[in-house]
């Protein structure tokens, strides 16, 4: 039985590894148009099919954990509603992946500011990032967004992350340096985009690459299996830092 469990874990990890390795190939093809359209089309098709497979596996894990752990039911239901709406349903219905920015607002991403993002998605994302997140954090603390709404760290730590045994978090020094530095860079990027709207093109390209290497490749292939479900949240995420800082400010005000 233990052997079967370990084989399934490995298989799940392998699916993540292959999916994000294919995204890496896709990025390389996109950066080098000389490779031609055919390999890019194939890499695209492979990546999106694998991603869809991952989403289906995550849906299966949600059902399994809802049945097995009734105490986590509410959190899983809310997280699944957020994740599958913003990551799957909305982008598919509205035929644009830009809609994922609704629950990936600044400072998690610059996607809302991407010229390709529909204006409605931009307004909702800005409202979410600058009004709703601070408001719910002020009222309920970090657990509001990072516990019940985030379609990334919160969702994957409760699904894919639960497949692996919990690990004590180390690397505390890195955790003190990377999230504030990342947040500072995202703030500088936001100021640059507001002051010089044309700067969004190079900044967005750079941000997409950083996001891919940290929130996807590192988190899914190394972070979750070896360091735990919240590895990206603690070691990298600028949004988590933003939220934790708001909580500290509230405590500092004596509330």
Binding site for ligand SF4 (CB under 6 A): 146, 150, 152-154, 232-233, 237, 239-240
* Tokens read off for 233: 């949240």
Nearer to ligand SF4, 117 or 231 (CB): 231
Q: How many C-beta atoms lie closer than 10 Å to residue 10's C-beta?
A: 12
Three-state SS across the chain? CHHHHHHHHHHHHHHHHHHHHHHHHHHHHHHCHHHCHHHHHHHHHHHHHHHHHHHHHHHHHHHHHHHHCHHHHHHHHHHHHHHHHHHHHHHHHHCCHHHHHHCCCCCCCCHHHCCCCCHHHHHHHHHHHHHHHHHHHHHHCCHHHHHHHCCCHHHHHHCHHHHCCCCCCCCHHHHHHHHHHHHHHHHHHHHHHHHCHHHHHHHHHHHHHHHHHHHHHHHHHHHHHHHCCCHHHHHCCHHHHHHHHHHHHHHHCCC
Q: How many C-beta atoms lie closer than 10 Å to residue 45's C-beta?
A: 12
Nearer to ligand SF4, 43 or 244 (CB): 244
Nearest approach, Cβ of residue 240 and ligand SF4 (Å): 2
Nearest approach, Cβ of residue 31 and ligand SF4 (Å): 26
Nearest approach, Cβ of residue 34 and ligand SF4 (Å): 36
Nearer to ligand SF4, 25 or 150 (CB): 150
Nearest approach, Cβ of residue 26 and ligand SF4 (Å): 23
Nearest approach, Cβ of residue 150 and ligand SF4 (Å): 3
Nearer to ligand SF4, 225 or 240 (CB): 240
Nearer to ligand SF4, 43 or 227 (CB): 227
Nearest approach, Cβ of residue 205 and ligand SF4 (Å): 22
Nearer to ligand SF4, 31 or 181 (CB): 181
């Amino acid at each position: 039985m233990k052997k079967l469990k370990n084989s399934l874990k490995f298989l799940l990890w392998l699916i993540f590894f292959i999916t994000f390795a294919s995204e890496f190939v896709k990025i390389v093809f996109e950066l080098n148009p000389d490779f031609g359209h055919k390999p890019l089309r194939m890499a695209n098709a492979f990546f999106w099919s694998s991603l869809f497979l991952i989403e289906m596996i995550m849906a299966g894990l949600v059902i399994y954990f809802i049945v097995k752990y009734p105490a986590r039911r509410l959190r899983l239901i809310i997280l699944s509603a957020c994740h599958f709406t913003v990551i799957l349903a909305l982008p598919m219905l509205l035929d644009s992946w830009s809609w994922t920015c609704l629950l990936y607002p600044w400072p998690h991403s610059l996607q809302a500011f991407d010229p390709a993002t529909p204006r409605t998605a931009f307004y909702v994302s800005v409202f979410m990032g600058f009004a709703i997140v601070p408001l719910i954090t002020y009222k309920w603390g970090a657990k509001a967004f990072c516990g019940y709404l985030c379609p990334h760290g919160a969702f994957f730590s409760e699904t894919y992350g639960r497949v692996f045994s919990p690990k004590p978090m180390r690397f505390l020094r890195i955790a003190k340096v990377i999230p504030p530095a990342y947040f500072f860079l995202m703030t500088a990027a936001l100021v640059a985009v507001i002051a010089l709207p044309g700067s969004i093109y190079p900044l967005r390209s750079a941000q997409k690459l950083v996001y891919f290497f940290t929130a996807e490749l590192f988190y899914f292939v190394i972070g979750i299996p070896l360091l735990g479900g919240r590895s990206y949240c603690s070691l990298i995420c600028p949004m988590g830092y933003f939220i934790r800082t708001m909580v500290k400010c509230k405590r500092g005000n004596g509330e």
